[in-house]
């Protein structure tokens, strides 16, 4: 039997959890008369980029659309696309097919006209892993895109994609889901599976999801099979050892934390995990009962003076707002600024 994440994967726009402005904008874009030749879908691992790309592809093949323009998700063509078996939709795993030969093959296939759908769609999964030569070949395609062809680029690290590629794409940024969205997803899945769990275990699953539906359903499946809720370290997407190291540096030597920030590509995810860890630390200091306090925080709390904890929390919250709402081109500079803010606070406090 397929996993929960596969069985409850969205098959149309109306089923996507937490339909924010980005999803609604994408829905309007692909149902308009001005569909761009290329769309870049970015977001953290597990947020559903490839699933969304397939739903976009269905828009040009489904002959049983709903009155609102959404695909049906159940017709022969929609099912074929979902199973990667539709002739006019090609998925390319760029982690494997990343070189110039794969790019040349794409260039050759892109010139073919669609056989069934209104457009031929090429989904380039994890496209940031393409080589420099492959990107050059892709750029030529995007400069003079073949008629009736749509390229969908999916990436968890969009900042590493060459600017000249990004500039030729409509960029759709998929955010991690709010806890309320994850909770509703888990509750609907439990209802469909005719299962029930305690609120405490549900809270643990929500916290451990990191805001991604795939991780939420994966953890739920493990829990239903074993009865063991996820551990505290499962609540962060960045490896716990790295978050522990960076948070320790923020308290002991904020300038040393800059080196760690520069080495990490997903700045928004790092901020989320740092904020989650520091919030747990603040609760631990206040002796608030919280089952999701990471064990290693007990070591940091001894060096975490309340005023410093508050300064770090404020800086992380502000960084999260900046990354979420303004999407600066160099996201890591926001994290560097966090380190500098904390260092400046320490200097003013020691005067």
Check whether residue 219 and residue 254 sit in a common domain. no
Q: What does the pLDDT read at residue 125?
A: 92
Structural contact between residues 174 and 42, judged by C-beta atoms closer than 8 angstroms: yes
Q: Which of residues 125, 151, 173 is at a domain's end?
A: 173
pLDDT at 239 over 60: no
Task: Identify the band that residue 143 occupies on the pLDDT scale cut at 50, 70 and 90.
Answer: very high
Spatial strand order of the sheet with 149-155 comes to 89-93, 120-125, 149-155, 38-42, 170-173
Q: What does the pLDDT read at residue 208?
A: 82
Phi-psi region of 178 (alpha: psi -120 to 50; beta: other; left: phi over 0): beta
For the beta carbon of residue 160, count every other beta carbon within 10 angstroms.
Answer: 12
235 inside domain = no
Total count of residues recorded for the chain: 351
Distance of CA 48 to the CA centre of its chain: 7
Check whether residue 193 and residue 105 sit in a common domain. no
**CATH number of the domain where residue 326 is located:** 1.20.272.10
Check whether residue 157 and residue 226 sit in a common domain. no
Check whether residue 43 and residue 153 sit in a common domain. yes
Check whether residue 252 and residue 297 sit in a common domain. yes
Instruction: Tell me the pLDDT of the chain averaged across its residues.
Output: 85
> Number of helices (H) and strands (E), helices first, in the chain?
16, 5
The residue segments making up the domain with residue 273 are 240-350
Q: Is 114 helix (H, G, I), strand (E, B) or coil?
A: coil
User: Among candidates 169, 174, 170, which has minimal Cα distance to 138?
Assistant: 169
pLDDT digits (tens, 9 = 90+) for 56-108: 999 999 999 988 889 999 999 999 999 889 999 999 988 788 888 889 999 99
What span, in angstroms and rounded, lies between the C-alpha atoms of 24 and 13? 9
**CATH number of the domain where residue 102 is located:** 3.40.50.300
Domain total for the chain? Answer: 3
Check whether residue 107 and residue 185 sit in a common domain. no
312 inside domain = yes
pLDDT digits (tens, 9 = 90+) for 8-60: 999 999 999 887 788 999 999 999 989 999 999 998 888 999 999 999 999 99
Q: What does the pLDDT read at residue 256?
A: 82
Element of type H or E holding 90: strand 89-93
Q: What does the pLDDT read at residue 262?
A: 60
What span, in angstroms and rounded, lies between the C-alpha atoms of 171 and 166? 7
pLDDT digits (tens, 9 = 90+) for 272-323: 777 777 877 777 777 655 544 566 677 777 777 888 888 888 888 888 777 7
Check whether residue 246 and residue 287 sit in a common domain. yes
Q: CB under 8 Å to 224, separation ≥6 — which residues?
A: 193, 195, 197
* 263-274 as b/e: b if 16+ CB within 10 A: eeebbbbbbbbb
Check whether residue 156 and residue 275 sit in a common domain. no
Check whether residue 85 and residue 191 sit in a common domain. no
Q: CB under 8 Å to 347, separation ≥6 — which residues?
A: none
User: What is the Cβ-side half-sphere exposure of residue 289, based on CA atoms within 13 angstroms?
Assistant: 1
């Amino acid at each position: 039997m397929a996993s929960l994440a596969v069985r409850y994967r969205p098959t149309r726009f109306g089923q996507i959890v937490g339909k924010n402005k980005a999803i609604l904008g994408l829905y309007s874009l692909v149902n308009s008369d001005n569909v761009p030749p290329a769309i870049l879908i970015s977001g953290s691992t597990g947020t559903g980029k490839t699933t969304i790309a397939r739903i976009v592809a269905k828009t040009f093949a489904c002959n049983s659309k709903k009155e609102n323009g959404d695909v049906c998700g159940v017709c022969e063509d929609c099912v074929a696309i979902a199973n990667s078996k539709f002739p006019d939709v090609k998925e390319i795993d760029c982690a494997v097919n990343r070189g110039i030969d794969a790019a040349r093959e794409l260039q050759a296939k892109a010139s073919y006209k669609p056989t069934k759908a209104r457009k031929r769609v090429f989904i380039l999964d994890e496209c940031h892993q393409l080589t420099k030569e492959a990107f050059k070949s892709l750029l030529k395609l995007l400069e003079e895109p073949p008629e009736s062809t749509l390229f969908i680029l999916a990436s968890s690290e969009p900042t590493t994609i060459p600017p000249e590629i990004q500039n030729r794409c409509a960029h759709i940024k998929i955010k991690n889901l709010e806890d309320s969205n994850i909770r509703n997803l888990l509750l609907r899945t439990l209802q469909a599976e005719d299962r029930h769990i305690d609120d405490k275990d549900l809270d643990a699953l929500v916290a451990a999801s990191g805001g991604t539906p795939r991780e939420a359903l994966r953890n739920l499946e493990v829990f239903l099979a074993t009865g063991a809720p996820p551990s505290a370290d499962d609540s962060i997407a960045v490896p716990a050892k790295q978050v522990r190291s960076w948070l320790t540096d923020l308290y002991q030597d904020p300038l040393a934390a800059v080196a760690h920030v520069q080495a990490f590509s997903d700045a928004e995810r790092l901020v989320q995990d740092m904020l989650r860890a520091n919030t747990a630390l603040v609760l631990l200091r206040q002796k608030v009962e919280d089952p999701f306090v990471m064990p290693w925080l007990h070591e940091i709390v001894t060096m975490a003076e309340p005023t410093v904890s508050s300064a770090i929390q404020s800086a992380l919250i502000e960084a999260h707002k900046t990354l979420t709402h303004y999407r600066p081109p160099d996201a890591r500079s926001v994290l560097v600024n966090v380190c500098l803010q904390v260092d400046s606070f320490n200097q003013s406090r020691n005067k």
